[in-house]
Structure 1
Amino acid sequence: MRAAAPAARALRCAPPSRTCLNCRRQIRSFSSSTAPTIPPRAGIAPLASRQLLSIAGPDAAKFLQGLVTANVVEKDGLPRTDGFYAGFLTATGRVLHDLYIYPNTKQLAGVQEENAFLVEVDANHLDSLARFIKRYKLRAKVTVRKVLPDEVNVWQAWDEISNSDLQLASTSVNPNILLKDVRAPSFGYRILQSGQHKPEVDLDETTEDAYTIRRYLNGVAEGQDEILRETALPQESNMDYMNGIDFRKGCYIGQELTIRTKHRGVVRKRILPCVIYGKSEPIPTSLQYIPQAGGGSGASTPTADLVPRDTSIGRIGKRGRSAGKWLKGVGNIGLGLCRLEIMTDITLPGEVAAASFQPDHEFQLEWGEDGDKSGVKVKAFVPNWLRSGLNEAAQG
């Protein structure tokens, strides 16, 4: 994955950024009146919504191995040398945190121990992650420390125009880490950059909003605003198809239910990208981001960021169970936790015929008090990468 390619472009270090990362964190919400524009096909964005925790010490690898859904050690028992996507679960198998783990970060993290890891997590839940880890620390020889944004910051780079792989040389003067983001095909690269430096690439800097829109269009949920803390199963959050779960590894917290769901259960709900549209508009035929207020031709249609989280998705003209719940969005797109057999054409074992999907069925989101209700219609789409995984699982 990291092998050098002849056409690969080098990433070089830029002068220190004059923009305070702490200030960037204050503008994470979308504005209804000024929705972000269509994201560029290539760009690099600082992710102020993500922050890092340093876990270092002789027992660090073994300690993390018993906590996360992916393997921290290789088959020979040595710690992995590549970064990876994973999750922390509760004892009942619900997602506490979605995260990236970066090994061999001694130089970057500024610690003395040889066995050092950086754990990237939702910045708003960094303290709760630190408390969670310390609860299980016991006598393990590890140190846990929050990494400040001016020490190391997180970036995302992508390029849909060129087929070249990105490479990043880490030196003692400019330590950094490049990691391919494997949650969706051709989704881009994660970069950990020392200090407040900006990685200098042949890509224009853009905003985290642009990265977020790309996530929604690719059906990739991130953070506890979208992966409901202590409620969502990792499979419902698509972590099984985003390379976040190793079903062959040994024991970890929450493993029992995760394995049982894999081999005996049917995952009927999954996070999917959705389009909202006005009640007088036709059903959308494609997943397309429209930044204008109203999400399309209906100027009075609320934008997706105005829909309250957990709003129930109901079938228009049909009674019965909810078809899902809304998570988060911007413009005319967002993410929803959707019942596959009701909102999509995905076939699941044991589905009830009366509740099966029909192309002409429509769904809605309604919220507010009686007499002052707001509402939009909503349609779910299944990303190709998820559809391929579900079809392959159904056949085998």
Structure 2
Amino acid sequence: MALLEEDAQCAMYAHILNVQGRTLYDIILYSLKGNPDGFNGVLLECDSTVKDSIMQLLKVYKIRRKVTFSLCPSLSSWALLPQNKAAMLEESKPDVTAADKVLVLEKDPRTELMGWRMITGSKNNPHEIVSACREGNTEEYHRHRYEIGLPEGVKDLPPGEALPLESNLVYMQGISFSKGCYIGQELTARTHHTGVIRKRLMPVTMSAPTEALDQGTALETEGGKPAGKHRAGIDKLGLSLIRLAHAKEPLKLKSSDGVTVTLQATVPAWWPKNGKDK
């Protein structure tokens, strides 16, 4: 697991890696130490489809420690996304009118464009907690992610396939290169220090909806050169692992029904301006 250095942060993003240095799962960790409701420990947010697999993996590394793991079906996670880009960049917290019903309210650690994360009881209504909020749906949330080029979950980061640096883990504040040790550190650190990252997960806009595209479909340049692989998306927005040498070129792939789909990659606004890992 690659984590940030310990500091005052109450929310951290990380990837759980396998011994080969490839991503198994992406997670957000929340510190509950000193919580007024009496909770003490760490809350782990993950793709709900792999929660049981993560539980099993955590128990493997328990090793005689007096640590307990449990699922939290009584809690709900909310993403607070401002309705306009200017509001996303504001420093102030959302206006919470029922703070006693909020377990966690922290900035999304991955990028300021993802707003805030809020953890409440599953029976609580967000309209009663955050003033002037409009409850959206899951599709709107994922559409926003794909628009800004932020991966999340096993569809975007296939377990055992995705490499953390190619998946922009550094850009999402999810790793420290001055602290260790963690499973998979050797490959990650070596790649970072040699500075050789030839592919990156990038947002793409396609000429046809992504639902007809298989995960891992090969991308090509107009001249037929290999350019990467498609990962996932919604409607005409998606994420693809693209060779940086071809990132500015028009690309194409074939859908499952044999139709050629064209796509264009863009560089996310929240990436470092120099395009290098920090």
In the TM superposition, residue 341 of structure 1 has moved relative to its aligned partner by 1.0
Corresponding position: 1:243 with 2:243? no
Within 5 Å, which residues of 2 pair with 1:216-231? 216-231=146-161
The 8 Å contact of residues 109 and 147 in structure 1, kept in 2 or not, is answered as no
- CA-atom RMSD, angstroms? 2.4
Q: How many pairs does the alignment contain?
A: 270
Question: Does 1:338 pair with 2:207?
Answer: no
Cα deviation, residue 129, structure 1: 0.5
Shift of 1:140: 1.4
Q: 1:104 to 1:391 in 2, by over 3 A?
A: closer
Does residue 365 (structure 1) correspond to residue 253 (structure 2)? The answer is yes
- 1:180 and 2:119 correspond: no
Q: CA deviation at 1:266?
A: 0.7
Query: Normalised by the size of structure 2, how large is the TM-score?
Result: 0.88
Could you list the runs of 5+ residues in structure 1 that have no partner in the other structure? Answer: 1-67, 75-79, 278-301, 345-360
Query: What residue in structure 2 maps to residue 325 of structure 1?
Result: 229
SS of the residue 2:142 aligns to: helix
Q: What is aligned with 1:90?
A: 18
Number of the residue aligned with 1:268:
198
Letter matched to residue 101 of structure 1 = L
Letter in 2 for 1:273: P
The 2-side partners of 1:93 and 1:229 are apart by 11
Q: Specify the code of the residue in structure 1 equivalent to 2:235.
A: G
C-alpha contact (below 8 Å) 1:241/1:389 kept by paired residues? no
**Cα distance, 1:81 vs structure 2:** 5.5
- What is the percentage of aligned positions where both structures have the same residue? 31
Contact 1:108 1:194 in 2 (8 A): no
Distance 2:91 2:252 in 1: 42
Write the distance in 1 (CA, Å) between the matches of 2:206 and 2:42.
40
| Greater Rg by CA | 1
Return the alpha-carbon distance in structure 2 between the equivalents of residues 255 and 153 of structure 1: 32
Asked if the contact 2:230–2:239 (Cα under 8 Å) also holds between the matched residues in 1, the reply is yes
Pick from 102, 115, 138 the counterpart of residue 63 of structure 2.
138
Q: Take 1:87 and 1:305, find their aligned partners in 2: how far apart are those partners?
A: 27
CA distance in 1 between counterparts of 2:62 and 2:169 reads 25
Cα separation, partners in 2 of 1:122 and 1:158, compared to 1, 3 Å: same
TM-score relative to the length of structure 1: 0.63
Once the two structures are superposed, the pairs formed by residues 104-253 of structure 1 within 5 Å of their partners are 104=32, 114=40, 116-148=41-73, 151-159=74-82, 160=84, 161-162=86-87, 163=90, 165-167=92-94, 168=96, 173-199=100-126, 200-201=129-130, 202-253=132-183
Is residue 2:221 matched to residue 1:315?
Answer: yes
For residues 184 and 223 of structure 1, the distance between their equivalents in structure 2, rounded to whole angstroms, comes to 16
Deviations 1:200-230 (A, max 9, x none): 3222111121111111111100001001211
| Deviation at residue 108 of structure 1 after TM alignment | 8.8
The 3 A distance-change label for structure 1 pair 186 and 137 is: same
Describe the SS at the equivalent of 1:144: coil
